[in-house]
A and B are shown apart, each in its own frame.
Chain A
């Protein structure tokens, strides 16, 4: 019966694992709901500030912000990569890193250097190993990140842009499509893409109080901040749903394995019983 005992302890251990994955699935599900709410809550701000910026691009400001105009020569680009703090969320981070690294390789082949700013422990870990120029990092932002913790890191990249060290800035994060699907998304933050051609608009401009520069500067900074924040919040929602799915399939797999092992165990037990009976019968026949 030694085989049967081994199998039984194996079943026990898989059952324990299953309990853990089941619990993690449920935790992720409840966190996902909250993360989705947070994502939806911060969306209006991101949308409204984008509207204001679109208006501003249509206007004829007396002061044109450097983030609005394209630089002719691109010598160095910056990437802000938003990843998760924790693992066990399927291929979420790996897929995103793959997409980012592909783009970086493309820049590399054109002779353009790449600076990386990593947000989240997994990104810090990955780009720490990967040979690239890691200029800033922040991790342990938690499930409900606050803007304040982000500002410093983002500012490093904005300063680099202002000083002309980088000529473009991209944001990489996971886009929350729905609970089942998350896809890596890379989009250009500075210069602010999608310019509206000015010919369409008659020449008007805002009144600025007290004057244009500080307001537009402040607005730009807020815009970038809200974009990164939105990316981060979306990434968290993606993380939670990816983890939920991963843990669900892990629980299902554990169930399968237990079922198979149970069959093997039953067979072994039956074989032992049959053997015992035949031994008794042959013993009785001998008497």
Chain B
């Protein structure tokens, strides 16, 4: 039997996923990381993107996280997300709209604060769209 580890994905508002998996991929700040059981303890921030887990029967599940903290223990992975949703629940139209809105806001920047916020929104929207595209390709 393949080695397994436990993955918990929680957001501030609710628990998204908790279960046993064989592999897990997460968007760490320095680039995507693939995690297998017995990974060295690691603590890092995450950027908006896709978290993918491979279950014991080979099935893949995909989640969208909007940044947060990733903690890895040899047999436990904890993903503390600011907000997380199941990838299939992403509303693509809303994401595209958000992207356009953010781009428009960046175009006529009034202050640095507005610009920074618009940029953050844009990154999030793009990450959402990317996640959906990946999900489609896999199907």
Interface residues of A (CB under 8 A from B): 41-42, 44-45, 48-49, 51-52, 55-56, 59, 147, 204-210, 212, 214-216, 218-219, 222, 226, 229
Contacts and interface: CB of A to CB of B under 8 A. Distances in A.
Contacts of B14: 41-42, 44
A215 B45 contact: yes
B87 interface: no
Contacts of A147: 12
A44 B10 contact: yes
A48 B41 contact: no
17 contacts: A41-B15, A42-B12, A44-B8, A44-B10, A44-B15, A45-B10, A45-B12, A48-B80, A55-B73, A206-B42, A207-B43, A208-B43, A208-B44, A209-B30, A218-B45, A222-B69, A229-B12
A215 B44 contact: yes
Interface residues of B, number: 22
B44 to A, nearest CB: 4
Nearest to B41: A206
B41 A207 contact: yes
Contact of A52 (B11, B29, B69): B69
B8 A59 contact: no
B78 interface: yes
A48 B44 contact: no
A136 to B, nearest CB: 21
A44 B12 CA distance: 8
B15 to A, nearest CB: 4
B60 interface: no
Given A45-B11, A209-B29, A215-B69, A52 B42 contact: no
B28 A209 contact: yes
A45 B80 contact: yes
A229 B28 CA distance: 26
